[in-house]
């Protein structure tokens, strides 16, 4: 349905929500291997039994050098890296004047520093790779903003800009960088940020779109920030 490629797709933040849905979308609709990066290996036990060697689970924290090295080793030991998806994210829902230095650093550690350093680590393994950053429409200039999300939205704005910088740095190579700035998707993070609200999209539907985008986009776009939203929030 999506691709007959037999490379590998590496997805961070794969334990739950959109990350888990993306892993399943690639396993069910493509012939790629999937490297699922998570802090909880047990959540993939039943799926590992079903897909065998096509699913490789890396248990580690990509905010650490040891965690990034574990991802490098897993990717280096498998099929060529076709797609890297920076999906791991951290949310802080606090008023601006209550958001302290420790919270701000924790959000940026996951949302900006980890993708920056993991990409840096994996570049030597990239040949024709599509790197996709999962951002938020709240980090797009001119979009509707919500009080309490200053750390989160500003970190996603940084990730958006970082995508554009990667594209410029590697414009003379076959590595493609794009960013998907998502609107509301029914995940635990969305429910934490907007208690009682109903998301406009399910993780399954968004994951299927991302799996299509991963293989179709490089032929028509590079360094783009694509807003995907059915409504606000």
Q: Per-residue pLDDT tens for 204-219?
A: 888 999 999 999 999 9
Does some domain include residue 72? yes
d(CA 208, CA 175): 22
Does some domain include residue 20? yes
Band of residue 196 on the pLDDT scale cut at 50, 70, 90:
confident
Over range 22-43, report the average pLDDT: 92
The set of residues, in sequence order, having a beta carbon less than 8 Å from that of 114 and lying 6+ positions away, is 12, 62, 63, 68, 86, 88
pLDDT given at position 22: 95
Q: Per-residue pLDDT tens for 46-66?
A: 787 788 889 999 999 999 999
Does some domain include residue 110? yes
pLDDT given at position 232: 56
Does some domain include residue 102? yes
**pLDDT over 60 at 2, yes or no:** no
Q: Per-residue pLDDT tens for 138-162?
A: 878 888 788 889 999 999 999 999 9
Does an H or E element contain 80, and which?
Answer: none
**pLDDT over 80 at 231, yes or no:** no
The count of structural domains within the chain is: 1
Does some domain include residue 180? yes
pLDDT given at position 184: 73
d(CA 119, CA 124): 9
pLDDT given at position 143: 81
- Six token digits for residue 80: 């060529």
Bond prior to 233 in cis (omega within 30° of 0): yes
We report the CATH number of the domain holding residue 139 as: 3.40.50.720
Q: Per-residue pLDDT tens for 75-103?
A: 999 999 999 999 999 999 999 999 999 99
Does some domain include residue 2? no
Q: Per-residue pLDDT tens for 95-135?
A: 999 999 999 999 999 999 999 999 999 999 999 999 999 99
Does some domain include residue 130? yes
The domain of 41 spans 8-227
Does some domain include residue 217? yes
167, 35, 44, 218 alpha-carbon torsion, rounded to 10°: 40
């Amino acid at each position: 349905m999506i691709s007959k490629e037999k490379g590998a797709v590496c997805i961070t933040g794969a334990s739950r929500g959109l990350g888990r849905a993306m892993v399943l979308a690639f396993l069910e609709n493509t012939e790629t291997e999937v490297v699922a990066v998570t802090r909880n290996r047990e959540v993939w036990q039943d799926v590992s039994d079903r897909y065998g060697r096509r699913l490789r689970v890396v248990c580690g924290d990509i905010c650490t050098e040891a965690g990034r090295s574990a991802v490098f080793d897993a990717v280096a030991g498998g099929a060529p890296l076709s797609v890297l998806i920076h999906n791991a994210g951290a949310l802080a829902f606090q008023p601006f004047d209550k958001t302290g230095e420790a919270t701000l650093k924790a959000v940026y550690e996951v949302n900006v520093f980890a993708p920056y350093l993991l990409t840096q680590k994996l570049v030597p393994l990239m040949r024709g790779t599509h790197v996709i950053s999962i951002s938020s429409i709240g980090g797009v200039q001119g979009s509707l903003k919500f009080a309490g999300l200053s750390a989160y939205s500003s970190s996603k704005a940084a990730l958006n800009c970082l995508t554009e910088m990667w594209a410029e740095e590697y414009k003379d190579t076959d590595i493609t960088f794009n960013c998907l700035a998502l609107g509301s998707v029914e995940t635990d993070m969305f429910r934490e940020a907007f208690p009682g609200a109903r998301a406009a999209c399910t993780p399954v539907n968004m994951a299927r779109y991302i799996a299509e985008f991963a293989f179709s986009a490089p032929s028509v776009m590079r360094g783009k920030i694509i807003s995907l939203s059915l409504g606000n929030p």
